[in-house]
């Protein structure tokens, strides 16, 4: 009874073992690998939401991703390397996946829908260090590829040298392998004797890729049998077919004419001897009749001997022809075996196709309708394919308005238009994030109200002439009574003498008096006019500096105008209060005419366009 060893991971291969035992084989489950699931970061899972195509490498990849319950675009096109993976995708996500005719990487890449993927967002859900050819080829075809690693295969914690000794003791003759990782787990760190024993076993593998990898371990191609896939049915058919071929080759080849012929005339050879004896005993009785009889018997004996010699040569020639025919039969048997192997693969492929053709035909119409609907929706949303030149042109326009025209609102409007354009196309998340940051930066820059400030300065100009100077008018001289007037009365001669003396003194020294408080320094009308003109000149200079975007000149002019108003005009006057308040408010205006703004979207657009 042929003993088959199944090395698939734990939980897989039980159905295959049952099929083999029912067919008369001895089957043993011996997992050499264990599956460890990963938990990718949100950044690694986020491309699933905007993906155009999602490719699953194996059933383990589907199960591991489904356990994470990620946000996934179920309207994307799903792909599976094999039919079992496609069935698992439908069970977990309710989506029908495209499956290649050839269940391997080459078959997947040969699909027409993966031939032209330039600019498409593709997510490859896979195990650690698996299927590098798929990622490499899709990148070469221009796709934006994101790897989502959700599990890894690793050898179970056991001594590999004990495996082979145990298998040899069980008299294992065939080994089922479904991954390159299983090959590494089995063949690493073996002794020469163990390796020689393994190389004599028959191996049943799931693809040509595994067969080529197994040949690197010096396993003969005659001992490697390739199934039509990794499914239990495909493996069972391969094992059963190869078992039938081995039985046919073990039958002995026989020939019809190999039995040696016995000599036909030994008795005739005694006749000459007998005749000679008679002649010796009866020499004297010899007659002519006896001589004639003797001659006739000699002739008959020689004829019989010649015939025997001819038959012997004929048999030798026949044996040579039989040997040649046997060699030809062996060559024909080998060719027949190769033809049967090819026929087995073809029958297996036809068998799988016949099982799925009914379901495929029933699902084809629904799948086509869904794809057509999705294509129409995408066409309505996108309208036309994204033109990199248009994106680059809008970005350059935004930079021109920012640096050349200092038009921050115009820059913001152009970036808004660019963001709206990119929102209709996948694969532009990073560029849109940078654009959003630039728009927020521009929103934080408040525009300078140049016109309002100019009008406030003009209002100050009109109020300058209404200001009241901080000075008093000289009052009229007080009316005085001449105390030194002379009297006409002679008796007042003494008083008149005193008055005369006083008048004499007054002619040298004159003292004038004014009624009221102390008098502050006086300003002439010409000086008042000059002060007013200086204030107006400073206000006008502030207006010119505002229009020419010279902040330092603006603030210096306002400061000088405020100083003159404070120094020469009455502070308790209403007009002065209004002017000072206006000048103080104008000094607080944040005139940042040249803020430093760096557009982060510039570098992102350049990288995206490349």
Whether residue 355 has pLDDT greater than 90: no
> Where are the domains positioned within the chain?
3-32+157-249, 40-148, 266-382, 388-445+599-609, 450-587
Q: Name which of 480-489, 491-500, 532-541 the model is least confident about.
A: 480-489
> What secondary structure does DSSP assign to 296-317, as a single string?
HHHHHHHHHHHHHHHHHHHHHH
For residue 276, name the pLDDT band (cuts at 50, 70, 90). very low
CA atoms of 118 and 144, how far apart (whole Å)? 8
Please name the CATH architecture into which domain 40-148 falls. 3-Layer(aba) Sandwich (3.40)
For residue 124, name the pLDDT band (cuts at 50, 70, 90). very high
- Number of Cβ within 10 Å of residue 100's Cβ equals 19
Whether residue 160 has pLDDT greater than 60: no
Mean pLDDT, the chain, whole residue set: 78
| pLDDT, position 76 | 92
| pLDDT, position 354 | 65
Buried b (16+ CB within 10 A) or exposed e, 9-22: beebbeebbebbee
| pLDDT, position 297 | 73
Residues in the chain: 610
Query: Which has more confidence, 357 or 181?
Result: 181
Each residue's pLDDT tens digit, 207-239: 888 899 899 988 999 899 998 888 888 889 999
Query: Which has more confidence, 409 or 282?
Result: 409
Average pLDDT on 395-405 reads 82
For residue 263, name the pLDDT band (cuts at 50, 70, 90). very low
For residue 52, name the pLDDT band (cuts at 50, 70, 90). very high
Q: Name which of 19-28, 64-73, 327-336, 509-518 the model is least confident about.
A: 509-518
Task: Judge if 3-32+157-249 and 40-148 fold alike in CATH terms.
Answer: yes
Query: Which has more confidence, 382 or 78?
Result: 78
Q: At what angle do helices 59-68 and 83-93 cross, to 10 degrees?
A: 10
| pLDDT, position 66 | 93
Average pLDDT on 191-196 reads 88
Q: Which residue has the tokens 């026929």?
A: 343
Which pairs count as long-range contacts for 435-439, CB under 8 Å and 24+ apart, including other chains?
A: 435/601, 435/604, 437/600, 437/601, 438/599, 438/600, 438/601, 439/412, 439/415
Q: Is 466 in a helix, a strand, or coil?
A: coil
Each residue's pLDDT tens digit, 537-593: 999 999 998 888 888 898 999 899 999 999 889 888 888 999 999 999 888 888 877
| pLDDT, position 588 | 87
CA atoms of 372 and 553, how far apart (whole Å)? 67
| pLDDT, position 407 | 78
| pLDDT, position 410 | 84
Query: Which has more confidence, 491 or 221?
Result: 221
Whether residue 277 has pLDDT greater than 60: no
Task: Kindly state the percentage of the chain with pLDDT values over 90.
Answer: 17
Whether residue 265 has pLDDT greater than 70: no
Each residue's pLDDT tens digit, 35-50: 889 888 888 898 998 8
Q: What is the CATH number of domain 3-32+157-249?
A: 3.40.50.10090
Q: Name which of 156-160, 270-274, 335-339 the model is least confident about.
A: 270-274
For residue 347, name the pLDDT band (cuts at 50, 70, 90). low
Judged on CB neighbours under 10 Å (0-12, 13-18, 19+), 80 is buried
| pLDDT, position 44 | 86
For residue 445, name the pLDDT band (cuts at 50, 70, 90). confident
Ramachandran quadrant class, 471 (left: phi over 0; alpha: psi -120 to 50; beta: rest) = beta
């Amino acid at each position: 009874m042929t003993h088959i060893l199944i090395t698939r991971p734990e939980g897989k291969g039980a159905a295959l073992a049952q099929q083999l035992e029912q067919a008369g084989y001895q089957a043993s489950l011996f997992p050499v690998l264990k599956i460890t699931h990963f938990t990718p970061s949100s950044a690694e899972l986020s491309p699933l939401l905007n993906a155009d195509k999602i490719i699953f490498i194996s059933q383990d990849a589907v199960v591991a991703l489904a356990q994470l319950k990620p946000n996934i675009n179920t309207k994307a096109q799903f792909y599976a390397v094999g039919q079992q993976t496609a069935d698992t995708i439908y069970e977990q996500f309710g989506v029908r996946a495209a499956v290649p005719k050839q269940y391997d990487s080459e078959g997947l890449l040969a699909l027409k829908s993966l031939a032209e993927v330039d600019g498409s967002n593709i997510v490859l859900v896979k195990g650690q260090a698996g299927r590098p050819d798929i990622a490499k080829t899709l990148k070469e075809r221009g796709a934006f590829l994101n790897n989502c690693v959700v599990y890894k295969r690793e050898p179970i914690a056991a001594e590999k040298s004990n495996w082979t000794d145990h298998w040899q003791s069980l008299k294992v003759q065939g080994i089922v392998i479904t991954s390159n990782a299983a090959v590494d787990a089995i063949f690493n760190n073996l002794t020469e004797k163990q390796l020689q024993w393994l190389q004599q076993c028959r191996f049943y593998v799931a693809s040509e890729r595994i067969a080529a990898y197994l040949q690197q371990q010096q396993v003969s191609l005659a001992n490697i049998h390739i199934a039509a896939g990794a499914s239990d049915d495909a493996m069972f058919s391969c094992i059963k077919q190869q078992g039938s071929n081995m039985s046919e080759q073990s039958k002995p080849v026989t020939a019809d004419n190999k039995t040696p012929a016995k000599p036909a005339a030994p008795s005739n050879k005694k006749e000459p001897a007998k005749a000679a004896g008679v002649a010796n005993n009866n020499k004297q009785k010899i007659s002519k009749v006896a001589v004639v009889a003797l001659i006739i018997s000699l002739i008959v004996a020689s004829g019989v001997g010649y015939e025997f010699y001819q038959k012997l040569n004929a048999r030798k020639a026949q044996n040579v022809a039989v040997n040649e025919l046997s060699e030809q039969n062996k060559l024909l048997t080998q060719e027949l075996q190769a033809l049967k192997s090819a026929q087995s693969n073809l029958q297996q492929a036809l068998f799988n196709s016949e099982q799925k053709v009914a379901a495929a035909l029933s699902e084809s119409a629904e799948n086509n309708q869904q794809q057509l609907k999705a294509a129409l929706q995408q066409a309505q949303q996108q309208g036309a394919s994204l033109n990199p030149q248009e994106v680059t042109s809008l970005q350059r326009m935004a930079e021109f308005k920012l640096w050349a025209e200092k038009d921050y609102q115009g820059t913001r409007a152009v970036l808004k238009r660019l963001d709206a354009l990119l929102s209709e196309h996948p694969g532009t998340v990073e560029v849109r994030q940078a654009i959003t940051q630039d728009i927020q930066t521009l929103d934080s820059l408040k525009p300078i109200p140049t016109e309002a400030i100019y009008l406030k300065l003009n209002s100050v100009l009109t109020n300058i002439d209404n200001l009241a100077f901080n000075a008093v008018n000289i009052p009229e001289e007080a009316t005085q009574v001449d105390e030194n007037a002379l009297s006409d009365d002679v008796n007042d001669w003494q008083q008149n003498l005193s008055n005369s003396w006083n008048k004499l003194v007054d002619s040298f020294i004159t003292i004038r008096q004014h009624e009221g408080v102390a008098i502050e320094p006086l300003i002439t009308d010409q000086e008042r006019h000059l002060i007013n003109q200086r204030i107006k000149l400073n206000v006008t200079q502030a207006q010119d500096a505002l229009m020419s975007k010279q902040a330092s000149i603006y603030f210096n002019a306002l400061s000088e105008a405020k100083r003159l108003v404070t120094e020469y005009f009455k502070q308790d006057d209403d007009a002065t209060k209004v002017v000072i308040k206006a000048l103080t408010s104008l000094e607080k205006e944040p005139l940042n005419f040249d803020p430093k703004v760096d557009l982060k979207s510039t570098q992102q657009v350049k990288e995206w366009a490349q």
